[in-house]
Structure 1
Amino acid sequence: MVSTEEVLKVVEKIKSENVRWIDIHFVDVPGRLQHTTFPARELLDDPEETFNVAIGGFDGSSITGFTVINESDMLLRPIPETFAIIPDDWQNPPGVAAGRTARFIAQIFWGGYKKGEAPRFEKDPRYIAERAESYLAEQGYKAYFGPEVEFTLFDKLKVDINMPWHKMCVEINYSGAPWDTQLPIMKFKQGYFPANPYDKLFWIRQEIASVLEDYFGFQVEAHHHEVAGAGQGEIDFRFDTAVRAADKVVTLKYVVKNIAAKYGMVATFMPKPIYGDNGNGMHTHQSLWDIKSNKNLFYDPNDEYAELSQLARYYIGGILKHARALSAIVNPTTSSYKRLVPGYEAPIYIAWSKSNRSAIIRVPNYMRGIEKAARIEYRSPDPSTNPYLAFAAMVAAGLDGIRKKIEPPDPVDENIYAMDPKKKAELEEIVKKQLDTKLQLPSSLCEALDELESDHDWLFPIFTKEMYETWIELKREDCKRLNAYPHPVEYYEYFDI
């Protein structure tokens, strides 16, 4: 139940900010943002009921992955702590006086029940992340997540797929891209940390970061141009709990896309938008803390290698053991596996290390002796994932490692991509023996789904059966549909065969 104090606090904000409209946000199963809008008076007429029952209903059968047409009535309950004012300069186009709008993220409930008795919808992605936090609490833990969200901004992106499929092409325009004819340009894989004026996205990222802080309550830690040569950026925010960190990823995507649109640009979070350049990742930093003592359980100052505790090593062991199955959730698109290839700083090897970015788990090693900084970085996820499901799945895998005391193999401190074939074969044997898995991540979404279907029991203390089955069904359909399309490059390669 939401406290009266929380309700009154939000009501006062709505009144003091002269909010006319309430925009309710949630994501579908794949992770795409959905919304519906109500007059603020609907909330203000009975705020206690709004925040403890619902603000309105919707058709769940029209939302990807939710439910079927004969059981489609669903309810939205806004979450007070997610209240935010949408910036005036991009919510009201010139000449439109629509009134000020505020945003809430919502929890989703089944309809058809008596007032106050509706159960949570089993396939509400946020509910899965909430279950992860509850399960952690039962074990005496709380988890923190710090995702590094990468994205790409283009001046123009044109996709031309004409019926009856006689034309298939993508045209990307970006001033300063490697293929641009007007200097200065940013070369492939050389976009990391360039100074102005070469960093042509600086002021847009600066505005994005400012909006995140000033309107949505973020604590931005850094923003910069990323490695890819054509408009790649990254914005990092302070770590938070699984649910709140996922809320922030959803919000960050929303803000990035809207500010890009404000300047006539387009933003994408797809993992591999450009061949021959680095893709967009979502390296995810995480740690476990003791609820009672508020101590970082990943920290051990007596560990000479990385100041990492035995519990943290078991957590690593769980992620490594289930990494191939996890890929079906944290790398959930066919584009994901075009990013996970050698040569572009995207890790494909099931190994861990400190400071070694060729392993899927890195232990950041910038400065020693700082308890709050002790964490692991899981590097293979990308921003096409549903963050609620991704963080929940990471928790499930890590806790399985702790529960079963899964000891990871020794850390690998050399570049695995450049490793001698004989040594790599030896490493493959070690991974097989200790973790009963392969050294390399799946090379396709279909392969990842095969892994998840054969290795998923560890999910179920947190995931619902309904969510798991729907995820498999949706992603299998992705594989079937997208694999059936002839690709323009296939014409280039095979036309004269």
Structure 2
Amino acid sequence: MPKSPEDVLKLIKENNLGWVDLQFTDLPGRLHHITIPSTDVELESFKNGFGKLDGSSIRGFTEIFESDMVLMPIADTASLVPWSAGVMRILTDVYWGGGKGRFERDPRGVANTAEKFQEERGYKSFFGPELEFFLFDKVDLDVATPQSGTGYKIHARESPWEGSGSFVIRYKEGYYPAPPVDKLMDVRVEIVDTLVKYFGFIIEATHHEVATAGQGEIDFRFSTLTDTADKVQTLKYVTKNVAAKHGLTATFMPKPIYGDNGTGMHTHFSLWSKDGKNLMFDPNDDYAEISQTGRYVIGGILHHARALSAIASPSVNSYRRLVPGFEAPVYTAWSRGNRSAIIRVPSYFRGIENAKRIEYRAPDPSTNPYLLFSAVLMAALDGVNKKMDPGDPVDENIYHLTPEKRREKGIRELPRSLDEALDELESDKEFLKPVFSNSIIDTYIDLKRQEAKTLQMYPHPMELYYYLDS
């Protein structure tokens, strides 16, 4: 992949590219783009940027009276777009127009600030998310006239309700079935091949996930905070486009199907010193080779877990996933191998410093990765700075504990709705302040409040089933 502006210009020339797609992420986490002629890209473009953005038209950005914004291309994110001949894609940072500097509500800017914050304190962090998604054959939506009713129907070749061919995948039985039961392996392989060949990914695995109806997962090699967030956005972009090429709909929606597992984004995290020492590894710890610093990291994330929910689980739909019985964590506890805990310390092997990390299991892929990874880092560093004790690990099924037992162990519940999570973020946001401006926190909360309020006004189709005869 290109590493300098000169490399980008060389790539354009050697491939005779006619167009460059400038991409950026809005505050809720959606990818946006504008396509410009490749002849407009010069060396000076990487210093001056492109004055192409009306910020007032982007959610969470600017007002109409301050709308001129600049997109600054990032050379080492440039890559060919295999499904669009003659096109290069490049991620951008967002700046105010008029030379006023970096836009404080650019999510990628928050990630850059978080990395600078940790570096100044002698730390380096790594993130490794596991992205789950569904590949549907088609989704019929009926929302044109919501006053007369709304609804949807999912078409999926593997599903029990509409399976085609000799095999279907039963509810909650989709984990690792071999072809021909797994009918979408070839599409997933094309997705990862595209990520490797064109976008510089190192893929660790791809597989079918637990749910029926085409649930899959792609895992890529861990990296630094901003780079990992860039890769999350790229993976979603590639997955959706390759799926569309096959006539499929790829969705990272947390809970599209009733009665089956939802879609998560388990996020692996490790904290290192600048001289290359894994601060979370202690070979003399009998429980999970987790150091005292690692325990403080866990303590910080557990302490702020309810506030983090507003970023990690950022949609109304997220809270349909966070219910007991579907492998999604709803309790603030930690453990070595317990997948009912919100934080797991993977312990497949012993004695491997590079492998020591935690797995934060609450996030789902509807999150804005730049904000999520920054918030997780700040919670972890707050735990280290204040020596937050995570309490004892819980090595039993937390779903089966009585409320009294959970209280005895100091286990809290995560918020049960987006509004509740936003309440928690409003009351516990100080740990974010060194990296998140008041402007971005307040704007984010306002956007999500409006989203929750809007969806609250729509009658759910199942409400008619339950209440029509009342």
1:322 matched to which residue of 2? 304
The worse-fitting range, judged by mean Cα deviation, of 156-165 and 486-495 is 156-165
* Structure 1 equivalent of residue 112 of structure 2: 130
Q: Which residue of the partner structure matches residue 239 of structure 1?
A: 222
Deviation at 1:420, TM superposition (A): 4.2
Of 76, 79, 83, the residue aligned with 1:84 is 79
Among candidates 327, 334, 354, match of residue 372 of structure 1:
354
Quote the Cα distance in structure 2 between the aligned partners of 1:159 and 1:65.
Answer: 27
Q: Is the 8 A contact 1:324 1:441 kept in 2?
A: yes
Q: 1:244 & 1:75 partners in 2: Cα distance?
A: 21
1:195 Cα offset (Å): 0.2
List runs of 5+ in structure 2 lacking aligned partners. none
| 1:109 maps to 2:91 | no
2:72 aligns to what SS in structure 1?
strand
Deviation at 1:496, TM superposition (A): 1.0
Q: Give, as a single letter, the amino acid of the residue that structure 1 aligns with 2:246.
A: Y
Residue identity opposite 1:285 in structure 2 = H
Mapped to 2, the partners of 1:358 and 1:160 lie a distance apart of 36
SS in 1 for 2:147: coil
| TM-score, length of structure 1 as denominator length | 0.92
The alignment partner of 1:294 has SS state of: coil
Verify the 8 A CA contact 2:51 2:68 in the aligned structure 1.
no
Structure 1 Cα separation of the partners of residues 299 and 380 of structure 2: 7
User: 1:6 maps to what in 2?
Assistant: 4
User: Quick one: distance in 2 between partners of 1:19 and 1:466?
Assistant: 39
3-state SS in 1 of match to 2:11: helix
Secondary structure class of the residue paired with 1:19: coil
Shift of 1:366: 0.6
Specify the code of the residue in structure 2 equivalent to 1:461. P
Q: Is the 8 A contact 1:280 1:339 kept in 2?
A: yes
* Cα distance change, pair 189–57 in 1 and its aligned pair in 2 (3 A): same
1:487 and 2:460 aligned: yes
| Shift in Å, 1:126 | 0.2
Aligned length: 468
How much does 1:9 deviate? Answer: 2.1
What does the per-residue CA deviation read over 1:190-240, in whole Å, with 9 as the maximum and x for residues that have no partner? 100000001111000000000000000000000000000111000000001
Cα distance in 1 between the residues matched to 2:111 and 2:407? 38
Distance in 2, matches of 1:311 and 1:18, equals: 52
Is 1:71 the counterpart of 2:66? The answer is: yes
Give 1:180 deviation, angstroms.
2.0
Q: Does 1:193 align with 2:176?
A: yes
Look up the equivalent residue of 1:373 and give its one-letter code. Answer: A
Residue 181 of structure 1 and its aligned partner are, at CA, apart by 5.4
Amino acid at match of 2:393: P
Q: Distance in 2 between matches of 1:420 and 1:495?
A: 35
Q: Match of 1:477?
A: 450
Post-superposition Cα deviations, 1:290-332, rounded to whole Å, max 9, x if no partner, equal 11x2111111111111111111111110100010010001100
Residue 450 in structure 1 maps to residue 423 in structure 2: yes
Q: CA deviation at 1:164?
A: 5.4
| TM-score, normalization by structure 2 | 0.98
Give the Å deviation of 1:179.
Answer: 1.2
Runs of 4+ residues deviating >4 angstroms: none
Compared CA separation, residues 181 and 370, structure 1 to 2 (3 A):
closer
The two structures, once aligned, show a CA RMSD in angstroms of 1.3
Hey, what's the Cα distance between the residues in 1 that align with 2:204 and 2:376?
23
SS of the aligned residue for 1:122 comes to coil
1:21 matched residue in structure 2: 19
